Amino acid sequence: MKSHENMAYMLDQIKKQLQVVNTGVMRSDDFNLEQYEDLKDLYDFVMKKSHFSVNETEGIIEELSELRKSK
């Protein structure tokens, strides 16, 4: 179900999975429901893996940044 609460949950889980220290790019208030499906796809990808390389982590954070900018 599309909701801001679900988006906040997905972002929190992505932060935990990636062990992100600087979470400024991952504030749920910076995203709108139009980006829900893109965020869900990214969430599904992140949750399927147990380990990420530095490059993968940077790529995921960059993707989140792009989603945020398109708000």
What's the pLDDT tens digit per position in 12-57? 999 999 988 777 767 888 888 999 999 999 999 999 999 999 999 9
Q: What is the pLDDT of residue 46?
A: 96
Would the pTM count as exceeding 0.75? yes
Could you identify the residue written with the tokens 């993707």? 63
Q: What is the pLDDT of residue 38?
A: 95
Distances (CA, A) of 1 to 35, 37, 40, 47, 48: 13, 10, 11, 18, 20
Q: What is the pLDDT of residue 25?
A: 65
